[in-house]
Amino acid sequence: MTDRLQIETTDGIVTIRLNRPEKLNAIDPDMMAALDTAVSAIERDASARAVIVTGTGKAFSVGADIGAFSALGPADTWRDWVRGGHALIDRIASLRVPVIGALNGYTLGGGLELALAFDFCIAADTAVFASPEVRIGTVCGWGATQRLPKLIGRARASQMIYTGDTIPAGQARDWGLVTELHPADALMDRAQELAQQIAANAPLSVQVSKQLVDGAGGVLLGATLESLAGGFCKATEDGQEGLVAFLEKRPPNYKGQ
């Protein structure tokens, strides 16, 4: 694992810290690869109950590493940076366990888009938020034009995206971008408290509830319907009979049960 992330797991709660404080946790290809690896590990870990994502230093993330981004040609930007970033953000959004963002400072550009993939976010009362891509001659690349309007409404999202202005923590809370504000030194304690509340509940109930909420919001709706329907059918008497009959190479005796 790269040093771009710090990861620890305690009692089913996975805490991920973006770890480039000298670059305000700007996201570069190494950090993207590390996040992808972390998501894969969480999906395989049946003991995982909740995830907290935060940043080290005074920023959550100021977004894309402009040095890395500017070095890419148009084809690489399209193929690797934008498509790859979208795939990663979508994987995070569709994790089977809830993800809490603990936004400890600057949450800008791609950092905001990463936060929009979480189930909900709390923030330091000193945090600021922006979608400033138009100020450097580009556009949102990792889903803000789709996710931000759903979260805070079209007009407010349009204002943020078209002006590139920063908004303070209080306004972010009033707009519904984050659910709670806390002093920076109390933020992680509150995130842990919330994660522990989630982890104490029935794991499958929480995870199925998350998939239903995600599906209702348009995240992998087909997968939501098919996975839940598949689990239901397999648990029925007919589902078991069909599998046994296939393995025993005989006609099934279905009873509608």
**244-255 residue pLDDT tens:** 888 989 998 989
pLDDT in tens, 49-95: 999 999 999 999 999 887 776 776 777 776 777 788 889 999 999 99
Instruction: Say which range, 15-19, 71-75, 131-135, 168-172, has the weakest mean pLDDT.
Output: 71-75
Rounded Cα distance between 24 and 33, Å, is 18
Rounded Cα distance between 72 and 65, Å, is 11
- Name the residue type at position 38: A
Read off the pLDDT of each residue in 195-224 and give the average, rounded to a whole number.
89
Rounded Cα distance between 135 and 82, Å, is 18
Higher pLDDT, 230 or 26: 26
pLDDT band at 1 (very low <50, low <70, confident <90, very high): very low
pLDDT band at 31 (very low <50, low <70, confident <90, very high): very high
Rounded Cα distance between 101 and 119, Å, is 8
- What pLDDT is stored for residue 85 in this prediction? 87
pLDDT > 90 fraction of the chain, expressed in percent and rounded: 71
Rounded Cα distance between 238 and 98, Å, is 33
Task: Please tell me whether residue 233 adopts helix, strand or coil conformation.
Answer: helix
- What pLDDT is stored for residue 106 in this prediction? 98
pLDDT band at 221 (very low <50, low <70, confident <90, very high): confident
Conformation bin of residue 48: beta by default, left when phi > 0, alpha when psi is -120 to 50: beta
Could you give the count of Cα atoms lying within 13 Å of 216 in the half-sphere of its Cβ? 6
Q: Given the structure tokens 């992330």, which residue do they identify?
A: 5
First to last CA, the chain: 49
- What pLDDT is stored for residue 238 in this prediction? 86
| Longest Cα–Cα distance in the chain | 68
Rounded Cα distance between 109 and 144, Å, is 8
Question: pTM value?
Answer: 0.90
Rounded Cα distance between 16 and 195, Å, is 13
pLDDT in tens, 7-19: 999 999 999 999 9
Q: Residue 214 pLDDT more than 90?
A: no
Angle between helices 203-216 and 221-235 (to 10 degrees): 140
Residue numbers annotated as active site: 113, 133
Tell me which fold the domain 5-199 belongs to: 2-enoyl-CoA Hydratase; Chain A, domain 1 (3.90.226)
- Report which DSSP code applies to 8: E
Read off the pLDDT of each residue in 188-209 and give the average, rounded to a whole number.
97
Q: Give span(s): CATH 3.90.226.10, the chain.
A: 5-199
